[in-house]
Amino acid sequence: MTNAVHFGVQTPQEGATYDTLAAHWRHADAVGFDSVWLDDHFYSVVRPRAEAQMEAWTLLAPLARETTRIGVGILVTCNSYRNPALTAKMAATVDALSNGRLIHGMGAGWFSAEYEGYGYDFPDVGTRLAMLEEGLQVQKLLWTSDQPSFTGRFYRLETAWCEPRPVQRPHPPILIGGAGEKVLLRIVARHAQMWNCPGSPAELGRKIEILQAHCVREGRDPAGIQKTWFGNVIIDADPARAHARLERIAAAWGMTTEQMAARSLAGTPTAVIEQISAYRAVGITGFIGMYGRVADLRSTTLMAEQVLPAFR
């Protein structure tokens, strides 16, 4: 994470085989992206639920070994799908397997159908956020302390071991995903090295101002937190093809074309550079995008060749 502007690729597992995902991850590594990510879903979100959706953490471990340089992670792990102590152990293992390249993405969870389908309780958002913060405390203790004990509202440890420790010290960088301004951004200010959120430049600029205020109250330097955008990257040398793709993706997400355009990087490489610059002007320091079907490398190739060099 040394570049002034961080560029990442998310490859949702929906309908994708391991070989297809591995090829995309190797490609992202080779062409200069900074990070590559899975999602944490048991069902497809956009495509039909009957399609294959491999579990994220068991998939992350072998995919990390397919790459050599790039940061790897899950955007984002749902805190309440797994006990956070177990998640900490898995994260330490992946950090070791990747020689210290894990970026630890965490979130409070939102997809109620998965909770219901897998028999998890789905508490209110305030409770899920409280569980997220306590889970982060548990994870950081396991990564940084010898045999820690902890008694909280939701989780506990009793002289717990976590060996091997993560390669990265004191622990892998923590990315927290979410938009909530009163609580979520306060958790970011307390615990995160990266924050990720969808939205337009105006929306994210306002949230960055709120995050900065939380940082002041928490005694954090806001510059120590990377502020990253998330959304669809719809890039094509032909503006007509880019617009047609934008219309199809908007329809799949149940949005108007205008609504999707406001939350995407869409158009020719020149147009995408201009859009990135607008986000940069409000304080966004990184861009993690979904580039369409995982088997199709054309968009990530065009992005790497004609957009990334403008910010390096």
Sign of CA dihedral 104, 123, 56, 153: positive
Print pLDDT tens along the chain (312 aa). Answer: 344 899 999 999 999 999 999 999 999 999 999 999 999 999 988 888 889 999 999 999 999 999 999 999 999 999 999 999 999 999 999 999 999 999 999 999 999 999 999 999 999 999 999 999 999 999 999 999 999 999 999 999 999 999 999 999 999 999 999 999 999 999 999 999 999 999 999 999 999 999 999 999 999 999 999 999 999 999 999 999 999 999 999 998 889 999 999 999 999 999 999 999 999 999 999 999 999 999 999 999 999 999 999 998
Enter the pTM of the model.
Answer: 0.95
The 3-state DSSP class for residue 101 equals: coil
Gap between the terminal Cα atoms of the chain: 13
Other beta carbons within 10 Å of 112:
10
Nearest to 45 by CA among 260, 237, 253: 253
Q: What residue spans of 171-282 are helical by DSSP H?
A: 184-191, 201-218, 239-252, 257-262, 269-281
